[in-house]
Amino acid sequence: MSAFANRRAVGVARRSSPGPANADALRFLGSICVVLVLFLHGCELYRPEPGIGQAISWEDLPAWREDRFTEAWPALLQGCRVLPRRSAEWERICARATSLGDIDDSVARRFFEQEFRAHRVNAAGADGKGLVTGYYEPLLHGSRVPDERYRYPVYGRPADLIRVDLAELYPELEGKKVRGRLEGSRLVPYYARGEIDAGASSPLAGNELLWVDDPVALFFLHVQGSGRVKLPDGELIAVGYADQNGQPYSSIGRILIERGEIPRERISLFSIRDWLRSHPDEASALLSSNRSYVFFQLREATDEHARGSLNVPLTPGRSIAVDRRNIPLGVPVWLDTTYPGSGGRELRRLTFAQDTGGAIKGYARADLFWGNGAEAERLAGEMKQDARLFVLLPRVD
């Protein structure tokens, strides 16, 4: 699959303070957390198999000395806005990084060699290959008020959506969340995509942030997790991920392949988008088969890229989404892959694990953020490359 077919909402969700209406719900969820913990401990579902190998030499990293490390440096400094609070190792690393001032590629490379150790990330497949896809920030056309053209709502986070991050109670359950809504005193799943996209009868009516003119573009905004909306007067409004309905993500690309609508080798953001627009009578049902739904918030600055799960702005070409159960957020990751549609041109560079993805699963799996614009869209839409990953872990000696 291309990146969009493997992408859930990106970004960090703002944790809302529970009001009186949600207090009983949170107490109720707290009680079921004990059951979940017992179940997960009994089944050992939360413990991944080891996938990071022993430390290797820097000479074993393909083209290590050829990267433009100064281009990766801003991503490191972004991470240093939050990482020092996590460990003494990161406090030391970031203090030294911020004290260096202006640097060149050789100084930056030596910094990484002195502060980190490189480890090969083992792929689960028999062929030993990992996978890297891409994502970007799309541009949509919209309005602050609906009319005949702008009919498709961009919804904000609904007040009745209840979310508990289980890691706040049990650290071993990092990444596991419970979402739903109250129906009387009973917690039930939140509304699915088909229920939300019900026009005037939508249960989210009145919770619109903006209105856009293209339901297909809106769907891909959900998949990418953030983007920009251009208003009729030319104003740009940035929207970012606020939360998700808790329903499972399903790849509509996989469905089209299984139906024989698009050959597997041709599946991409562009081929799926073309199919949806050329089959308007079938598009709505297909989109509804992906029950996952993303809610947005308005971002204050349009000159800053979306924030990832690390809660720092993403750096185009240098930030990746990973499975945080396997690769720690914030760490540098060396990518050894190729550019999409390039005939095998090598793409070997230092990136930083600053985001996550619900469909980004496994060790040797990454989603590379390309930024915004036509070239970012092309690269993200076509990227589905074999890859090797090497994680750089802070030295503790």
- What are the boundaries of each domain within the chain? 3-43+138-299, 52-134+307-394
Architecture of domain 52-134+307-394: Beta Barrel (2.40)
| CA 324 – CA 172 distance, rounded (Å) | 12
pLDDT at residue 35 in the model: 39
d(CA 284, CA 374): 26
Q: How confident is the model at residue 316, as a pLDDT?
A: 97
What is the per-residue pLDDT for 299? 84
Pick from 137, 51, 113, 133: nearest CA to 328: 51
Q: What angle do CA 305, 307, 312 make, to 5 degrees?
A: 105
CA distance 187 to 208: 24
The pair phi, psi for residue 392, each rounded to 5°, is: -105, 110
Q: Where are the beta strands (DSSP E) in 235-379?
A: 236-244, 294-299, 319-322, 332-338, 346-356, 365-372
CA-nearest of 254, 249, 333, 356 to 61 is: 333
Quick: pLDDT tens for 117-159: 999 998 865 566 899 999 999 999 999 999 999 999 999 999 9
The position carrying tokens 């050959």 is 263
CATH architecture of 3-43+138-299: Beta Barrel (2.40)
Q: Which residues of 347-370 are buried (b: 16+ CB within 10 A; e: fewer)?
A: bbbbbbbbbbbbbbebbbbbbbbb
Parts of the chain with a pLDDT under 50:
1-49
Task: Return phi, psi of residue 211, to 5°.
Answer: -130, 135
What Å distances lie between residue 178 and 14, 43, 247, CA to CA? Answer: 15, 18, 10
pTM of the model: 0.82
Distance CA 28, CA 146 (A): 38
pLDDT of residue 202: 96
Output the pLDDT for position 127. Answer: 62
Tokens 């990832």 locate to 308
CA distance 66 to 130: 22
**Amino acid 379: pLDDT:** 96
First-to-last alpha carbon distance for the chain, in angstroms, is 41
Question: For position 244, what pLDDT does the model report?
Answer: 93
How many alpha carbons lie under 13 Å from residue 205 in its C-beta half-sphere?
Answer: 8
* Interatomic CA distance for residues 246 and 180, integer angstroms: 7
